Amino acid sequence: MRAEQVQRAREETPGCADVVHLNNAGSALPPAVVTDTVVDYLRHEALTGGYEAAAEAQERVDGVYASVARLLNADSADIALTDNATRSWQAIFYALDFRPGDKILTCRAEYASNAIAYLQSGAEIVVVDDDESGQLDVADLKRRIDGSVKLISISHVPTQGGLVNPAEEVGEVARQAGIPYLLDACQSAGQLDLDVTKLKCDALSGTGRKYLRGPRGTGFLYVHPRLRESLEPATLDLHSAAWTAPDSYEVVKSAKRFEVWERSFGLVLGLGAAVDYALELGLPAIEARVTDLAARLRSELSELPKVTVHDVGRRKCGIVTFSVAGVPAAEVKQRLAAAKINTSVSSRGSAQYDFTGRDLPDLVRASVHYYNTEAEIQSLVTEISTGVLSTRS
């Protein structure tokens, strides 16, 4: 990404003037166009009426589906819009009919909300081993395939580290075995260049608030026709289905069968503005910039005494997790916040398989984005070195 593009992005992001925001895996700073789109719609809605404003905006709302489809190299009919990534993921998972003896194959880097749903389903949870690099072991995945496997479901990028799981290879295994493949792209959408035709996933869930820089309360779902035509959603309403007679209904054919009627159209349009902003910059350029900044941060943190970087995997992304010997992660985060550097903390409750397997402490999570600068990276490293470490030496 060119220097002038980074500078323009910073100028168009008001929050960059106030904080060093390295919590993009939590919720990124939105560009002004996203905030303006949401606020302008809400003001118009307040003057015009909710139904009337929505009717006026129908063409723009339709354009959001098209934009998300472009983001994923999908068809608009394959896209549903929701209020968050969890709702998107659940729409697929809870439409599956798990029976006694069914198995779910997942990864050690799996996220808490997904794992809790697996437990609730009553299916047998099979956690695929990691390979020597720390990513999902595709060979072990193949070994575990049998006739009882109902679903392969993994997180592309975990909440607790910079790992990028080999999602395309997993997709090939799932396709050859004829097993539905659900990919949680909550942390990868917006920082990695995603293509569902290469990923070979049957469904993919994502959020607006993280690397896409959209508003909170927005999410999206991709569902390939081969899966959605075989599934009836666990819940339906007059948007996802038609009441065709007093005693019958018909589910809509597109991915909108996984939506509900009521939504915030201001937030939907804000999501569209965020996706269009990313598409204009180009996801390959975004991915390259984010990956390079994170690699630089890992390198510089690794040179500090008492600091351990915990990211694993052959391929890494914009999330950097580390610990400081003798200093709890929550205290490190607090000290950085006092210096106006935003980070987060990842704990065992979010990723039991991974934290338990590697016996990890709570970790400080610094997640970079393309609008961050090399100087901001250095400010975090300096604060750890001269602030956190110096007071504990």
Q: Are residues 98 and 243 in the same domain?
A: yes
Query: Distance between CA 380 and CA 365 in Å, rounded?
Result: 12
CATH number at residue 184: 3.40.640.10
Q: Are residues 140 and 154 in the same domain?
A: yes
For position 393, what pLDDT does the model report? 52
For position 113, what pLDDT does the model report? 97
Indicate the number of domains in the chain.
Answer: 2
**Could you tell me if 126 and 120 are in contact, meaning their C-beta atoms sit under 8 angstroms apart?**
no
Q: Read off φ and ψ for residue 324, nearest 5 degrees.
A: -120, 120
* SS3 state of residue 246: coil
Q: Are residues 48 and 16 in the same domain?
A: no
CA angle 20, 22, 23 (to 5 degrees): 125
Q: Are residues 381 and 296 in the same domain?
A: yes
CATH number at residue 381: 3.90.1150.10
For position 388, what pLDDT does the model report? 77
* SS3 state of residue 136: strand
For position 387, what pLDDT does the model report? 79
Pairing of strands 181-184, 241-245: unpaired
Q: Are residues 275 and 319 in the same domain?
A: no
Q: Are residues 253 and 302 in the same domain?
A: no
- Tokens read off for 187: 């942390």
Query: Across the chain, what does the average pLDDT equal?
Result: 97
Q: Tell me which amino acid residue 133 is.
A: S
User: What is the pTM (predicted TM-score) of this model?
Assistant: 0.96
- Tokens read off for 148: 């009882």
Closest to 91 (Cα-Cα) out of 229, 233, 226? 233
**Could you tell me if 315 and 156 are in contact, meaning their C-beta atoms sit under 8 angstroms apart?**
no
**pLDDT tens digits, residue range 181-203?**
999 999 999 999 999 999 999 99
Q: Are residues 323 and 276 in the same domain?
A: no
* SS3 state of residue 340: coil
**Could you tell me if 393 and 362 are in contact, meaning their C-beta atoms sit under 8 angstroms apart?**
no
User: What is the torsion angle, in degrees rounded to the nearest 10, for the CA atoms of residue 47, residue 52, residue 53 and residue 57?
Assistant: -160
**Could you tell me if 254 and 224 are in contact, meaning their C-beta atoms sit under 8 angstroms apart?**
no
CA angle 280, 63, 257 (to 5 degrees): 125
User: What is the torsion angle, in degrees rounded to the nearest 10, for the CA atoms of residue 328, residue 331, residue 335 and residue 341?
Assistant: 80
Query: Distance between CA 267 and CA 11 in Å, rounded?
Result: 23
Q: Are residues 174 and 192 in the same domain?
A: yes
Q: Read off φ and ψ for residue 68, nearest 5 degrees.
A: -65, -40
Domain that holds residue 341: 3-28+282-392
* Among candidate residues 231, 248, 280, the one where a domain is terminated: 280
Beta bridge partner(s), residue 105: 126, 152
**Could you tell me if 369 and 24 are in contact, meaning their C-beta atoms sit under 8 angstroms apart?**
yes
* Among candidate residues 280, 310, 340, the one where a domain is terminated: 280
H-run or E-run covering 78? none
Pairing of strands 319-324, 307-309: antiparallel
* SS3 state of residue 190: coil
* SS3 state of residue 210: coil
Closest to 140 (Cα-Cα) out of 164, 117, 107? 107
- Tokens read off for 338: 């006092």
Q: Are residues 9 and 127 in the same domain?
A: no
* Among candidate residues 259, 280, 301, the one where a domain is terminated: 280
**Could you tell me if 131 and 169 are in contact, meaning their C-beta atoms sit under 8 angstroms apart?**
no
| Residue partners of 119: CB distance under 8 A and separation at least 6 | 125
Q: Are residues 326 and 267 in the same domain?
A: no
Q: Are residues 118 and 142 in the same domain?
A: yes
Q: Are residues 337 and 383 in the same domain?
A: yes
**pLDDT tens digits, residue range 214-242?**
999 999 999 999 999 999 999 999 999 99
Residues in the chain where the model's pLDDT stays below 50:
none
